[in-house]
Structure 1
Amino acid sequence: MERRGKPWLVPTLLLLLISLSSLAYFQYPQATTTSSFDPTSHPKSPFKAPKQNIFSELTAAEASSVNTFILEKFGHLNLTKHPKSAKDNFVYIVETLKPNKTDAIHYLHPQGTDADADAEAAPQPPERWAKAAISENFPDGPYMVYYMVGPLPVGEETVIRPLEYCFEEGRNWVKNPGRFLARVQDFGAILDFALSMAEDVADITQELLGATVNRANPNDPQSLLAFPRGSRVETGGMVLWMQFYRPGMGSGARTLLPQGIYCKVDATSSNTSDWTVGQFYYNGVLYDDAEEFRAALQEPDFQRTPPNLDGSWTNTEDFGEYADRELPPPVSIQPYGPRYKLDKKEKYVSWFGFEFYITSAMATGISLYDIRFKGQRVMYELGLQEALAHYAGDDPMQGGLEFLDSFFGMGKNAFELVPGYDCPAYADYLDTEWHQSYKTHTMPNSVCVFEFTADYLLSRHTAQYSVTASRNTFLTVRSVSTVGNYDYTIEYMFYMDGTMEVKVRASGFIFAAFYTANNTKSEDEYGHRIHDALSSSMHDHVLNFKADLDVAGPTNDMVRLALEPMTMKYGWDQPEQPVRNTMHLKEYQVSEETGLDWPKNSGEFYLVYNSEDKNAWGERKGYRITSGTGMGSTPHLTILNSTTLGDSARWAEHDLWVLQRKDTEPRSADPLNYFTPHDPLINFASMANHESLEHGAPDTNYDGDLVVYFNLGAHHIPHSGDIPNTLMHTSSSSVMFVPHNFADADPSRQSVQGVRLQLKGHKSGGFAGEWSAPSSPSSPNNGDLRTRSSARDDNKTKAWYFGHTYRKGVEVPLEMLEPDLGGYVSSEHDITDLNFNGSAAGMWHREEAFGG
């Protein structure tokens, strides 16, 4: 085929014309390529938050005064400080009742008030109130009841009243518990029943498992334990399926060591003496009672499965010496100190345009409030609401297993972080506190704040005559919550362009299933065989977060900006191309409360726009919500209409939700939902009830203040690589909030550190396509990085830095490279047992059950 013309000529000529149209003459600055600024010679002044942290948790003094006030005012309840059973009345928790947004905004963002010019005119902080949960015993059993106490500090005006306004239908109580065992007089009776049941079948457990229970020492690693999974029946009764486990109570690996004997217990009565032991289940076979089970053992064709024995395979550490461990890994250091500013007292952070407050809660851990970027409002509230794990399986334990972890306490179980490992050695660490059973518990160093430089650039570009590289540094606020068998690392990340990312990583021991040797029909249906007598158990992790966006103010709209294919006829395309297959953008208003899933092929942008404020180019200021970095798109719950969860976690049914923001709907879930999943205190389905998101019309009360709830997590199908622990890089997920026309141009250019290298060459100068031009005295040094240097005669590569560089070497103390962990503050942690101790039955003093 004959080749006609030069196809590369047209685009080349086009680029040349564009270059000529923007031709300008520049001169490079004559300064040296390194700054004379020495950060170490400039001491930092103390940093203070601009306002009081009105979201902070109660102080120890405040919590003590609230407890005393309740004891005095509720004398008729005969509240005890040392409850020994659910029949005792006691104050379970006290914590901050977060102020309503309508009150908080008046303080944080006063309209028409110059607080600096006239301090007396500045609005005062909203009233401070406490929330209390009290266990009260009524004739039909114990209840958990919420109250509000305030205003604080406690004084003549302080009152206590039912906390009703933020719960569905004004209800402030749940029966304690609808599906667990709080009606039993004491926790010890439950353990005693389990031990008695196990002793009655000791011959069977010895025969099949090679072990029995040890009543004298539940921590005996060679003995067995029995734990229940409770479930209600329609008649109002209670059924327990008890499963045997090894080793002892103190082992972290217990969820890897289920044993394949299950026992069904009728626990309808409030007295354990009336409980009855029924069926047994082993290796896929159901036996009517222990006698039938014993008889089957004697049959020659009885099929056994190996016992699930502990060993080195459950160890999370290998202390052996190996050649590839001779050198320690690289670490990050911070020679000149932090670039962010932190007011530890108010827990207020400022970093390159971002500003926000940090607070914590016993149930949900840390949350951020009043997030601003470059002085503009971005988000009022960002924080965890609930963490769900839902399992599936064909045995009596895994088949109905689920957890709502806020009940166990994502904040309560946020333990001390390990410097140099959980966070860089140079990070700042914050303590958190929570108040339970009349005591204040301090968790030292449970939140870290640090800046980090990524292993990839924020941006770069190689042109014909130059290379520009911009370092990618970001700020992180991190905590780790260890609930039972899993450690959840939760972090809030901030980038220099205004992007925010919420990320969850998980590690720990999986909650595994016993492997049934005669399993044929359901082989690999719920997981994989991962050890001699162990099978993985598929499950969903869904963690729900609240993002109360205030993009450049509270009046916002949400749209779906779709990328859609189309066929179009263009006049300029005729006659060569009659029609052209192409694509375009089409915007769909989200006009009512709804749940959304991440679109196929990422074919839609979910955007929250300010309804009124626009950037310099007339575009609405907005933020995009998108599934971020991690293992694929963030998930929602696989199970449809879960029979176990009921109505307690309807937020898990879609990836994200958009709702009207209301003071009466401050959260998507409540920890006490765990008690009554079919009649929860907060039913998210009642919140997301398709109310209109259109505002501005005369007949609507909605003002455009919307809130987004989004889910992180994973569809976890554990495999052999999850033994002994799941790895964090294989179980991470995130959602990002990315500026979309929020600024007039990329704001990171004002903050980022980087370099422009002028490459060797006769024409080395500006951007590719620009003409070289001689320097001229009339061309002043305007500081523009694109300006030209007259000193090009040496034809060498030149480096032009934006931002400061390190000027000299530093001596790094060993603690900056490898902290001395001998000073670790925390002592022994209480175990969060996801069956007994973490249930309603374990609310009162657990030491009574274990003999101290």
Structure 2
Amino acid sequence: MIFTTGSLLLAAQLVAASALPPLGYERKLLKEALASRDVSGISCSDGPAPKASAPKTNVWAPITPNDNRAVWDYLYDPATGLNLTHPDNATASDNYVFWIDTIHSNKSAVLPYIDGDGPLPPKYARVVIFEGGKAEPNSQEYMVGPLPVSNTTTIQPYDYPFNGGSGGSVPFNARYVDSVKTALTEPLMAELMTNVSDITQALFNASYLGSSNENTTLTSTAGTPVSFDGTQQFRNIMFRLPGVASYLTPIDFFLLINCPGTDPSQFSLKGFVTGSQFYETEEALRTAFEAGELAQEFEHDTESGWPIVDYKPELGSRPYDDQFAPTSIELGGKRYAVDAKERYVEYMGWSWYWSESRLYGVTFYDIKFKGERILYELSMQEAMAQYAGNQPKAANTVYHDTYYSLGTDIATLIEGFDVPLGSSCFNISYNELNGTTINQDAMCIFETDSGYPLSRHRYGGGNTSYPFTSLGVVKGSALTTRTIATVGNYDYMFDVSMHVDASIEITVRASGYLQSSFYYPDQGRFGPRIQQATQGSLHDHIINYKADFDVLGTSNSLQVSELVTVNVTQPWFPELGSFPQMEMNTSMMSTEQQWNWAPNNNAMYVVLNQNETNAWGEPRGYRLVPGRSDIHLTILDSPWSLKNSEFAKSHLAVTKQHDTEPYSNSWQNINLPSKPQHDFSKFFNDESIEQEDLVVWFNLGMHHYTRSEDIPVTLFTEAASSIVFAPQNFFDRAQDGDLKNRRWIVVDQSTEEGALEYEDYGVALPQCMVAPTEPVLEVSPTVNYEFEAEL
């Protein structure tokens, strides 16, 4: 046994925390430990993570900056016949490249490479070209490769991932509304709003005279969708008072226009909305104004700084708040290793690769524990929000954030606040035209205490004079990969945590500014009043994920164990006759389907391999454990999300893996609710899923019941959702017995005072104390890794 006074302090604290009254020897041990504190020699600083060596080249890595530039030059070569204009000089009637990214590598090509001696799969670029110069203008996706560019490189339509019938083609009216398209509608907006500027000036003391007019005192915003099926295009425009938090200062005035095609002369006014009334013409609006029907009761406070995320002394002060809050530090150095070049991590039995893309942010591949694969892929697929309200912007708004290239909005994390001090942080890059943009320190990896022990038990006690005879406790910890994407008004925090017990936890949190509405006293059913003239807009957040399970191979099944109540008779209870008992009905899900978590969590879902059993003959698998706020979309038949958001309409779904079904959604689907480019519901065609390669699609999110505490921004504390993948008979026993970060304490009952025999397994309690006049914590700066790439 090993004894240290530092360790005895911990032991004494454990005893003192017992429910039994403290004994004399506990106080004695505590006093002695405090008087003679040992220094273990463990450093409290944490330098760079050790270097790992990835077993294979990262086949999922994004294309390099050099490849991006080479693809750009290849596309703009006149020999391709694409007749491209540089985006900076393009009009809506031109053909031009919108963006270049990386093609999702086909799993069928990857597995022979990562699991054997197969060749490294070829790399392809994903290219979006807006083709306004065609007789029938559209947006078309292409695949360019193999890379690097050579005489074998070709360009061909990227059609196979999309099942809507038009492949990678999207009608011009449903394509992404970029600056070129926006410029087409600006003259009509300016003309219509200038014509009624006397009305807006009188009502709101502000007017819109055009985005470039120096006398304009309003900002405009128009959400999505802008079309139903691509045969039309409209914009429902909200106006707001300018400022850093204009999302919170909307005015009660909306302009609705029709704007299909590339010819602005065909654009037209649909109407104005104010006071919850619709006016089809300027004349109708003016008549109501002159009749005194448009008076505004509430005015925004734009002077006091209430929307700014800064210190608010008017709220008072809190004792001790001038001290730095508790933080996590990786005592003695980092316990994980990184191969930054290959984007590969090893941690406490775990290993995985990561990649990044402009649409989906950071994705994870080949996730293994102790050399056994659990997941082939774990990736965010879509971040969706749908609003409600009795005005055009709220009622119309559905967001798909891949449409806005969510991955490009993953930006620098603040050490000590966004992530713990000393985190290992990495740059995230994405392609922009013929160059590459690097967001510094945008993905961070850090290990933290779980905040609770992984396992513990106090043995004995109760019938003896000692509070316990022995006590075992294992420290809990996890390695988290974190990114935060600020997409317009919202900050989404994405965490994937690898726990030391072989569980994986996925968590999403939301902060940032509400997309709010003007306050209408009679519309509290859509949200409360949260400022002088601001109403919180009720909405759903749905974040869709893909989990491609490979539990010990690609032959998996989904087991369902339902809790049911049955009436039983047992001969040893004859006086009860028949009485209810709980049982578990276990079966295998037979075909692809979407489904919801069982009420009261009365069912367990396990992805398992029926051909692989543990020592007890049980199939080895991983359980899907609902966490916090696992929801699906509230409205299942809204015209704004009718068929383009099928992925969001159930808690869970399972499909057989196909290379032609890599995504649950298309990034341009948002503007095609009636005729989607990609329809997730078509994945479900009664294919068998017993001992097949399975993909589980799951939704995290929250019903955002807005509140005054959303001012100035929504708090991460409440706006959170999570799920856990936990081993279910995957092992023969819990994965805590091989962890040395534990304490085993035995009471020597042969002595009068019950001396403690204490084992720390060579992991001493670190002593991180310094003189009171010195800083309490000394940590190294954020560790930054730059990928080896020529820019």
Question: TM-score category by the smaller chain?
Answer: 0.7 to 0.9
> Which of the numbers 510, 519, 532 marks the counterpart of 1:506?
510
1:473 counterpart = 2:461: no
Give the match for residue 133 of structure 1. 128
Give the match for residue 282 of structure 1. 274
Alignment of 1:223-242 (within 5 A): 223-229=217-223, 231-232=226-227, 236-242=231-237
1:317 counterpart = 2:313: no
Return the letter of the residue paired with 2:58. Answer: N
Return the letter of the residue paired with 1:68. Answer: D
Cα distance in 2 between the residues matched to 1:341 and 1:419:
20
Give the match for residue 299 of structure 1. 291
Give the conservation status (yes or no) of the 8 Å contact 2:639–2:673: no
Q: Taking every aligned residue pair, what percent have the same amino acid on both sides?
A: 29
Give the match for residue 75 of structure 2. 70
Give the match for residue 549 of structure 1. 549
**TM-score for the superposition, normalised by structure 2:** 0.86
Gaps of at least 5 residues in structure 2 are 1-36, 462-468, 787-791
Alignment of 1:381-392 (within 5 A): 381-392=377-388
Return the letter of the residue paired with 1:80. Answer: T
Compared CA separation, residues 239 and 564, structure 1 to 2 (3 A) = same
Compared CA separation, residues 432 and 219, structure 1 to 2 (3 A) = farther
Give the conservation status (yes or no) of the 8 Å contact 1:179–1:231: yes
1:90 counterpart = 2:96: yes
Deviates most, 585-594 or 187-196: 187-196
Give the conservation status (yes or no) of the 8 Å contact 1:620–1:742: yes
Cα distance in 1 between the residues matched to 2:101 and 2:494:
22
Cα distance in 2 between the residues matched to 1:199 and 1:473:
61
The secondary structure found in structure 2 opposite 1:314 is: coil
Larger Rg: 1
Shift of 1:407: 1.0
The secondary structure found in structure 2 opposite 1:292 is: helix
Shift of 1:437: 1.8
Alignment of 1:60-459 (within 5 A): 60-72=65-77, 75-81=80-86, 82-110=88-116, 122-168=117-163, 171-179=166-174, 187-213=182-208, 215=210, 223-229=217-223, 231-232=226-227, 236-247=231-242, 251-268=243-260, 270-299=262-291, 303-311=295-303, 312-318=305-311, 320=313, 322-324=317-319, 325-459=321-455
Cα distance in 1 between the residues matched to 2:715 and 2:739:
34
CA-to-aligned-CA distance 1:787-819 (integer Å, 9 cap, x gap): xxxxx5763233322461245547799796688
Alignment of 1:573-592 (within 5 A): 573-592=572-591
Return the letter of the residue paired with 1:762. Answer: Q
Deviates most, 381-390 or 418-427: 418-427
Compared CA separation, residues 44 and 427, structure 1 to 2 (3 A) = closer
Compared CA separation, residues 278 and 166, structure 1 to 2 (3 A) = closer
Return the letter of the residue paired with 1:106. Answer: P
Return the letter of the residue paired with 2:70. Answer: S
> Which of the numbers 711, 727, 746 marks the counterpart of 2:715?
727
CA-to-aligned-CA distance 1:127-148 (integer Å, 9 cap, x gap): 2222222222354443221222
Give the conservation status (yes or no) of the 8 Å contact 1:308–1:533: yes
Cα distance in 2 between the residues matched to 1:731 and 1:738:
23
**TM-score for the superposition, normalised by structure 1:** 0.80
The secondary structure found in structure 2 opposite 1:397 is: helix
Give the conservation status (yes or no) of the 8 Å contact 2:423–2:446: yes
Compared CA separation, residues 322 and 820, structure 1 to 2 (3 A) = farther
Return the letter of the residue paired with 1:437. Answer: L
The secondary structure found in structure 2 opposite 1:196 is: helix
CA-to-aligned-CA distance 1:420-445 (integer Å, 9 cap, x gap): 11111211111121113222111111
Alignment of 1:529-678 (within 5 A): 529-571=529-571, 573-628=572-627, 630=628, 632=629, 634-678=630-674
Cα distance in 2 between the residues matched to 1:149 and 1:637:
36
CA-to-aligned-CA distance 1:769-792 (integer Å, 9 cap, x gap): xxxxxxxxxxxxxxxxxxxxxxx5
Give the conservation status (yes or no) of the 8 Å contact 2:479–2:498: yes
Shift of 1:391: 0.6
Shift of 1:510: 0.6
Give the conservation status (yes or no) of the 8 Å contact 1:543–1:712: yes
The secondary structure found in structure 2 opposite 1:757 is: strand
Give the conservation status (yes or no) of the 8 Å contact 1:359–1:366: yes
Cα distance in 2 between the residues matched to 1:43 and 1:344:
11
> Which of the numbers 739, 745, 767 marks the counterpart of 1:751?
739
Give the conservation status (yes or no) of the 8 Å contact 2:98–2:130: yes
Shift of 1:287: 3.0
Shift of 1:643: 0.5
Give the match for residue 494 of structure 1. 498
Cα distance in 2 between the residues matched to 1:502 and 1:549:
15
Give the conservation status (yes or no) of the 8 Å contact 1:283–1:305: no
Shift of 1:344: 0.7
Shift of 1:64: 1.3
CA-to-aligned-CA distance 1:802-848 (integer Å, 9 cap, x gap): 46124554779979668889x999xxxxxxxxxxxxxxxxxxxxxxx
Shift of 1:48: 1.2
Give the conservation status (yes or no) of the 8 Å contact 2:422–2:780: no
Return the letter of the residue paired with 1:395. Answer: Q
The secondary structure found in structure 2 opposite 1:651 is: helix
> Which of the numbers 702, 705, 716 marks the counterpart of 2:693?
705
The secondary structure found in structure 1 opposite 2:132 is: strand
> Which of the numbers 714, 725, 735 marks the counterpart of 2:702?
714
Aligned positions, number: 732
Cα distance in 2 between the residues matched to 1:386 and 1:96:
17
Give the conservation status (yes or no) of the 8 Å contact 2:740–2:763: no
1:737 counterpart = 2:725: yes
Cα distance in 2 between the residues matched to 1:124 and 1:218:
59
Deviates most, 715-724 or 193-202: 193-202
Give the match for residue 675 of structure 2. 679
Give the conservation status (yes or no) of the 8 Å contact 2:221–2:238: yes
Cα distance in 2 between the residues matched to 1:235 and 1:358:
36
CA-to-aligned-CA distance 1:12-55 (integer Å, 9 cap, x gap): xxxxxxxxxxxxxxxxxxxxx99999789999964211111110
Cα distance in 2 between the residues matched to 1:269 and 1:86:
9
The secondary structure found in structure 1 opposite 2:402 is: coil
Gaps of at least 5 residues in structure 1 are 1-32, 111-121, 696-703, 764-791, 826-852
Deviates most, 385-394 or 671-680: 671-680
Return the letter of the residue paired with 2:485. Answer: S
CA-to-aligned-CA distance 1:699-747 (integer Å, 9 cap, x gap): xxxxx11110000111112111111111001110011101000001111
Cα distance in 1 between the residues matched to 2:270 and 2:147:
54
The secondary structure found in structure 2 opposite 1:68 is: helix
Give the conservation status (yes or no) of the 8 Å contact 1:34–1:801: no
Compared CA separation, residues 433 and 142, structure 1 to 2 (3 A) = farther
The secondary structure found in structure 2 opposite 1:748 is: coil
Give the match for residue 754 of structure 2. 795
Deviates most, 279-288 or 327-336: 279-288
Return the letter of the residue paired with 1:47. Answer: A
Cα distance in 2 between the residues matched to 1:567 and 1:66:
69
Compared CA separation, residues 50 and 538, structure 1 to 2 (3 A) = same
Cα distance in 2 between the residues matched to 1:722 and 1:362:
29
Give the conservation status (yes or no) of the 8 Å contact 2:166–2:677: yes
Task: Note the aligned Cα RMSD (angstroms).
Answer: 3.1
Give the conservation status (yes or no) of the 8 Å contact 1:184–1:270: no
Cα distance in 2 between the residues matched to 1:323 and 1:233:
52
Deviates most, 346-355 or 158-167: 158-167
